[in-house]
Structure 1
Amino acid sequence: MSLSLNRRNALKNIIAGTAAIGVSSNLSTFALDQSNSIIQHVSSLKGNINHSVCRWCFDTLDMETLCIEAKKIGIKGIDLVGPKDWPILKKHGLESTMCNGAEINLVDGFNDETFHQTLIKNYSNMIPLVAAAGYKNLICFSGNRRGKDDETGWNNCVKGLKQILPLAEKHGVVLVMELLNSKINHKDYQCDKTAWGVELCKRLGSENFKLLYDIYHMQIDEGDVIHTIKENHRYIAHYHTAGVPGRNEIDENQELNYPAIMRAILGTGFKGFVAQEFIPKNANKLASLKQAISICDI
C-alpha cells in the first residue's frame, strides 16, 4: 500500500457505463438477472478470507458507487478511508478495514523526532475517533531514512510510538505500520524489510502495534513471501495485494501465486482482512476486482 502521489492520482480510464435499456419489461428482466448473478457470486465465496479493497485504486468511482459495487462482489470493507467517508461505509454495511488520516505522509514518519510532535497530536486525536466508529486498524509509517541507520530508526520509532500506544491500548485500536519496498516505489523508506518491522514490534512489545504486510512490496524487496508470512504472522495485522511486476492485476500475467499465498495466510489462523491494492490495467476495472476476489477466495 502506498499513500504517495501515485495513490492520489486519478486513473485515466473511466468505467464504461451500462447500456441504456429502453423497454421497462426488459429493464425488469435485466435487473432480476443482475440481482441473481450478484447473489450467486457472493454466496459462492468460501468465506475463509475477509476481502477488502483499497479506496485509492478505484478513485475514478465516487465512494457511494464503490461501496455498492464492492458489496456486490462480496467485499466486506474498504481500506484507506478517513472519518469523512465512514458514514457512507456504514450506510452500506462495510467496514473501514484500514483507517487513515493521522499520518503526515509516507516520508515523514515516526523514525524522525522532527515529526513526533505533529504525529503524536494527529494520532491522539484520531485513535478515539477510530474506536468510536467501531473500527480497529489505523495505519502509520516509519518514514524515510534520510541517512539514519537501523538502530536510530528503531529508537526514534519506539520513542514516538510509546507516547500514543497507551491510548491505542485503552481504545482497542491497533497501530499498523506498512512495509513498503525501497527498491522501486518508495526510495529510502526505512521499514522496507519484514525483519525491520518485526524488530520494532518486539521492542514495543504491544499487541496494539503490528505490521501491514504488503505482498507486492515485500516480493520486490525480499521475496520468500510464504516462508516469511509463516515465520512472522504473529506480528502481521493486515495484508495488501498487487501483481509483480507492475502493480497491476493479480492474474496469470504476473509472478506471484496468490492462491498459494492465501492458503499460507489462512494456515496461520489469520482472521483479519486481505485488501486488493492493484492498479487495474483492464478497461473494465470492476471485472478485474471481481477476478482478484475470486483468485484470493481459497
Structure 2
Amino acid sequence: MQSKYNRREALKNLALGSGAIGLSGLLSSFSSLEILKESFKETDHDFKNSVCRWCFNDIPLDEFASECSKLGIQAIDLLKPEEWETVKKYGLECSMGTDVFAIIEHGFNDPANHAELQENYRGLIDKAAENGVKNVICFSGNRRGMDDETGIENCAKGLLPLVNYAAEKNVVMVMELLNSKVDHPDYHCDHTLWGVALSDKMGKPENFKLLYDIYHMQVMEGDVIATITKYKDYINHFHTAGVPGRNEIDETQELFYPAIMRAIVATGFNGYVAQEFIPTWENKIAALKEAITICDV
C-alpha cells in the first residue's frame, strides 16, 4: 500500500547488477516465455493472479481493470468498498479488501486502538461478506518501544473477537508481514515467526492468516523458499516485487521468481499472488504482463 493506503513511498530504483549470475547466461531475459519453458519443466498451478491497485494508481480504475482482464488477471488487491463494483464489471474480484481506517502504523498491538478498529472492521467484514470479498487486510501497528510478547498478546486480544466474527461471515482477516528495515520503520509484524506466534496465540484460527510479502521478507529475513515451505499453513496470500528497489521482478534484481513460484505451487497453494512492484517501464501494462508471465510456472 502506498500513501493513499498509508503505505510509505518505495525507494527509487537502484542501479542493479545481473540477476542471472550462476545460470551461465541461460536466461538472457525473463520476458521470453519460451526460454522459461525450455529451462524449467512446465507444471500446472492453482494459484490466482492479482495485482495491487496502488502501484498503478495513475491509470483510471476502469481502464486498469479492463487491461487486467485482458491479461487474464483474476483480481485486484487493496481496493476499498466503493471500488469493488467497478472491477466486477470486468469479471474481476477484489482479492484483498481495505479501507481508510486500515493504517499500518496504528494497529492491533495498541489496546487504545481496539474499540475503534473492532467497530470499523466489523463494518468492513459485513461489506466484504455481502460482496463476495474473501480477505480483508489488517496490521500490527508500530512497536513504539513495545516488546514482542506484549505486542502479540495485545494483537490477539484485539483481533480474536473480529476473527470469530469474520468466521461467521466466511471472511479471512489477513495480517501483512512488512519490513521495518527500509519501508516501514518500527513496524511490529516484521518477521514471519512473529506472525506465526500471533496465529498460534489465537489457536491458529482458519480465519486469520498471513500475507507473505516476498519483497518485504527478503529485505527483512531472506530464506524465502524455506520459510514459505515451512509455514505454508499460516499463509493465504502473497505479494511480489523486486529486491532491491521494489521494482520489476525481472533479471535486474536478486530474487529468482520462477523458483519461488514453483516452491509456492509445491505447497498446494490456491490463493492469490498479487503483483506489488512499482513499475519503471514507460508501458506499465507491459511490465505487468511480463511479471505475470514470469510467475506463470
Q: Name the TM-score, length of structure 1 as normaliser.
A: 0.85
Deviation at 1:119, TM superposition (A): 0.3
Structure 2 stretches of 5 or more lacking a match? Answer: 11-42
Residues 140, 192 of structure 1: CA spacing in aligned structure 2 closer, same or farther, 3 A cutoff?
same
Answer yes or no: is the 8 Å Cα contact 2:46–2:268 preserved in 1: no
Matched, 1:247 2:260: no
Deviation at 1:4, TM superposition (A): 2.9
Residues 82, 187 of structure 1: CA spacing in aligned structure 2 closer, same or farther, 3 A cutoff?
same
Residues 103, 235 of structure 1: CA spacing in aligned structure 2 closer, same or farther, 3 A cutoff?
farther
Q: Distance in 2 between matches of 1:94 and 1:186?
A: 30
Matched, 1:77 2:63: no
Matched, 1:256 2:255: yes
Deviation at 1:222, TM superposition (A): 0.1
Matched, 1:144 2:142: yes
Residues 199, 5 of structure 1: CA spacing in aligned structure 2 closer, same or farther, 3 A cutoff?
closer
Answer yes or no: is the 8 Å Cα contact 1:102–1:119 preserved in 2: no
Residues 276, 225 of structure 1: CA spacing in aligned structure 2 closer, same or farther, 3 A cutoff?
same
Output the amino acid matched with 2:151. Answer: G
Deviation at 1:103, TM superposition (A): 3.9
The size of the alignment, in residue pairs, is 263
Q: Distance in 2 between matches of 1:243 and 1:286?
A: 17
Output the amino acid matched with 2:173. Answer: L
Matched, 1:226 2:225: yes
**Which residue does 1:4 correspond to in 2?**
6
**Which residue does 2:287 correspond to in 1?**
288
Structure 1 stretches of 5 or more lacking a match? Answer: 9-44
Taking the TM superposition and a 5 Å limit, the aligned residue runs for 1:100-119 are: 100-101=98-99, 103-119=101-117
Higher relative contact order (CA 8 A, sep 6+): 2
Deviation at 1:204, TM superposition (A): 1.1
Answer yes or no: is the 8 Å Cα contact 2:109–2:154 preserved in 1: yes
Q: Distance in 1 between matches of 2:147 and 2:127?
A: 34
Answer yes or no: is the 8 Å Cα contact 1:258–1:295 preserved in 2: yes
Q: Distance in 1 between matches of 2:98 and 2:147?
A: 27
1:185 to 179, 183, 186: 183
**Which residue does 2:212 correspond to in 1?**
213
Taking the TM superposition and a 5 Å limit, the aligned residue runs for 1:18-29 are: none
Q: Distance in 2 between matches of 1:95 and 1:165?
A: 22
RMSD, aligned CA: 1.7
Output the amino acid matched with 1:293. Answer: I
Q: Name the TM-score, length of structure 2 as normaliser.
A: 0.86
After superposition, the C-alpha distances for 1:131-175 in whole angstroms (9 at most, x for unaligned) are: 110111000000000000011101100110112122101001100
Q: Distance in 2 between matches of 1:217 and 1:209?
A: 20
Q: After the TM superposition, which parts of structure 1 deviate over 6 Å for at least 4 consecutive aligned residues? A: none
Taking the TM superposition and a 5 Å limit, the aligned residue runs for 1:189-208 are: 189-205=187-203, 206-208=205-207
Deviation at 1:48, TM superposition (A): 3.9
